[in-house]
């Protein structure tokens, strides 16, 4: 059986989970406590960042974007990176936006301060870091509204990996109750559409022991 | 004419420059002072990170990896991301390694402290930051040696975008005289092979006014 080594609140792990579901591919989930730096895991992913996907032929794939590109090449039943080079470039630009701009500016500091520090016994969250990340978040929520005023989905007419990546990041922060949806109706409406997709349901059923999500997290009418 | 908006010591810009040359594609270079946040540039690349490639049909592409993927799809005369899904996954894993691990751990802090601060009048380099980046660099140089003891090039038998990305980062630091080549013969021998490729020559001819490279920078026998 295909297996994904993941962390519950890793946006990159969630991106791969949703892509697998969109393609109808079965997989098992196994939590990888990245901070333990398990040698067998580092042999598969020397970066130690996760996630890692082990295909049923035993092949181990690392780096979430390399995994998604691989899956889109090997299982083209439903293509999610786009259908021609320009739309693929736009999808990839936006995936990079979420993983490498929104991540460091917003989701990584928030998940680190609010969750990882606690699990790793590293003390209290730093309120100044949280305040800056919340401030940064607004620009990104506005960007979603700006894009979806002009397009059906983030990268164009079709639902794509850009939507999956963005929603993967936002779903982690929504689990923490950190998204001011009421102030950002455009982003809210787009997220409601993503949230109602069957591929997204398993994420909404996530329940981390000792860290329950707010009530609206799994609610399609939030 | 195709145009690349770039910065001289941006590894991501250099990655695209070498890829274009490997494919035999002509282009003009135009320096983009990213910190000026020029509205016309931000319209093409809202992240403001650069580089941006404007194709001769006027299409603007942003995000260096989206640009490289686009070029490999549209100009497949010489494919540089790999020939089958597993080798493509390995190439992409390693490109991400350089751009998103080596970058934040080594090349971004060094270029920022040693170059950008000066150009932007932000004061003196922080020696503790430089020391940590130099310490981090060793692990990456050892990783190059480890990979090339097992493979012809970083991602496998063939020269690929993984080699281009790695050499793009290292060439920026070599321009600053920051790489202890003598302590890392494996990385040295691999870099000597990359450096001798015709696609790499234009980078070796770079000469930033007020910031000349060390003598060995352009020397193939360094």
Q: Residue A88 and residue B96: Cβ atoms within 8 Å?
A: no
CA–CA gap between residue A206 and residue A8 (Å, rounded): 8
- My answer on whether B90 and B69 are in the same domain is no
B70/A59 CB distance under 8 A: no
Instruction: Please check whether residues B188 and B113 belong to one and the same domain.
Output: yes
Is position A21 within any domain? no
- One-character DSSP codes across A138-153: HHHHHHHHHHHHHSSB
Residue A162 belongs to domain spanning: 85-197
Residues B131 and B174 in one domain: yes
Question: Do A65 and B143 lie within an 8 Å CB cutoff?
Answer: no
Are both B187 and B168 inside the same structural domain?
yes
Report the candidate in B60, B37, B46, B18 with the shortest Cα–Cα distance to residue B204: B18
The answer to whether residues B91 and B167 belong to one domain is yes
B101–A47 C-beta distance less than 8 A: yes
Q: What is the CA radius of gyration of chain A?
A: 17
Last residue of a domain, one of B32, B50, B74: B74
- Enumerate long-range contacts of A119-124, CB under 8 Å, 24 or more apart: A120/A35
User: Looking at residue A136, what DSSP letter applies?
Assistant: H
Whether residues B143 and B192 share a domain: the answer is yes
> In terms of Cα–Cα distance, which of A63, A68, A29 is closest to A48?
A63
CATH number assigned to the domain comprising residue B130 = 1.20.1050.10
Q: How far is B118 from chain A (nearest CA, A)?
A: 25
> B31 and B119: one domain?
no
Q: In chain B, which residue's Cα lies nearest the Cα of A63?
A: B93
With respect to residue B147, please indicate whether it lies within any of the assigned structural domains: yes
Residue at B29 is within a domain = yes
The reply to whether B56 falls in a domain is yes
Residues 6 or more apart in contact with residue B209 via CB below 8 angstroms: none
Nearest-by-Cβ selection for B73 from A47, A85, A97: A85
Ordered per-residue pLDDT tens for chain B, 222 residues: 999 999 999 999 999 999 999 999 999 999 999 999 999 999 999 999 999 999 999 999 999 999 999 999 999 999 999 999 999 999 999 999 999 999 999 999 999 999 999 888 899 999 999 999 999 999 999 999 999 999 999 999 999 999 999 999 999 999 999 999 999 999 999 999 999 999 999 999 999 988 999 999 999 999
**Does the residue A38 lie in any domain?**
no
- Who contacts B194 (Cβ-Cβ below 8 Å, separation ≥6)? B163, B164, B167, B200
Which among A73, A86, A93 has the least Cβ separation from residue B63?
A: A93
What DSSP string describes A186-205?
HHHHHHHHHHTSGGGHHHHT
Q: How far is Cα B44 from Cα A96, in angstroms, rounded to an integer? A: 15
Could you tell me if B47 and B154 lie in one domain? no
| Full pLDDT tens readout for chain A, 222 residues | 999 999 999 999 999 999 999 999 999 999 999 999 999 999 999 999 999 999 999 999 999 999 999 999 999 999 999 999 999 999 999 999 999 999 999 999 999 999 999 888 899 999 999 999 999 999 999 999 999 999 999 999 999 999 999 999 999 999 999 999 999 999 999 999 999 999 999 999 999 988 999 999 999 999
Cβ neighbours of residue B128 closer than 8 Å, sequence gap 6 or more: none
- A68 contacts in B (CB within 8 Å)? none
Q: Tell me the three state secondary structure of residue A166.
A: helix
Residue A208 lies in a domain: no
How far, CA to CA in Å, does A81 sit from each of A68, A161, B110, B169? 9, 6, 34, 27
Do A62 and B88 make contact, defined as CB atoms within 8 angstroms?
A: no
Q: What's the number of domains chain B is made of? A: 2
Partner residue opposite B73 with nearest CB, options A70, A88, A90? A88
Sheet holding B3-6, edge to edge: B28-31, B3-6, B52-54, B60-62
Same domain, B60 and B23: yes
Domain match, B119 and B65 both? no
Give B220→chain A minimum CA distance, Å. Answer: 31
| B80, part of any domain | no
Chain A residues within 8 A of B73 when measuring between CB atoms: 85, 88
Give the minimum alpha-carbon distance from A11 to chain B in angstroms, rounded to a whole number: 15
A144: distance to nearest CA of chain B, Å? 13
Look at residue A90 and tell me if it is in a domain: yes
Q: Which residue of A has its CA nearest to B47?
A: A97
Measured between CA atoms, how close is A93 to chain B, in angstroms? Answer: 5
Same domain, residue pair B61 and B16: yes
Check residue A103 and report its DSSP letter. I
What is the interface pTM, i.e. ipTM, of the complex? 0.97
B101 and B188 co-located in one domain: yes
Q: Are strands A3-6 and A28-31 parallel, antiparallel or unpaired?
A: parallel
Tokens of A164: 């999956």
Other C-beta atoms closer than 10 Å to the C-beta of A165 total 31
CB B164 within 8 A of CB B80: yes
Q: From the list B62, B89, B143, which residue is nearest A93 (CB)?
A: B62
Among B197, B200, B189, smallest CA distance to B222 is for B189
Mark yes or no for CB contact B92/A66 under 8 Å: yes
């Amino acid at each position: 059986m295909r297996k994904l080594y993941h962390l519950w609140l890793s946006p990159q792990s969630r991106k791969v989970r949703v892509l697998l579901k969109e393609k109808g591919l079965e997989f098992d989930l196994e939590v990888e406590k990245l901070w333990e730096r398990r040698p067998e895991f580092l042999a598969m992913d020397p970066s130690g960042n996760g996630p890692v996907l082990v295909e049923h032929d035993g092949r181990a794939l690392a780096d979430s974007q390399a995994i998604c590109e691989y899956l889109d090449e090997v299982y083209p039943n439903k293509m999610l990176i786009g259908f021609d080079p320009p739309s693929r470039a736009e999808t990839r630009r936006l995936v990079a936006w979420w993983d490498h701009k929104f991540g460091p500016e917003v989701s990584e500091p928030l998940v680190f301060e609010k969750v990882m520090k606690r699990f790793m016994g590293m003390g209290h969250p730093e309120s100044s870091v949280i305040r800056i990340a919340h401030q940064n978040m607004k620009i990104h929520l506005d960007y979603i509204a700006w894009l979806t005023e002009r397009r059906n989905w983030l990268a164009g007419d079709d639902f794509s990996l850009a939507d999956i990546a963005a929603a993967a990041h936002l779903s982690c922060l929504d689990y923490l109750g950190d998204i001011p949806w009421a102030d950002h109706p455009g982003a809210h409406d787009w997220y409601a559409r993503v949230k109602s997709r069957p591929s997204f349901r398993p994420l909404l059923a996530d329940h981390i022991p000792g860290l329950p999500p707010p009530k609206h997290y799994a609610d399609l009418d939030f």
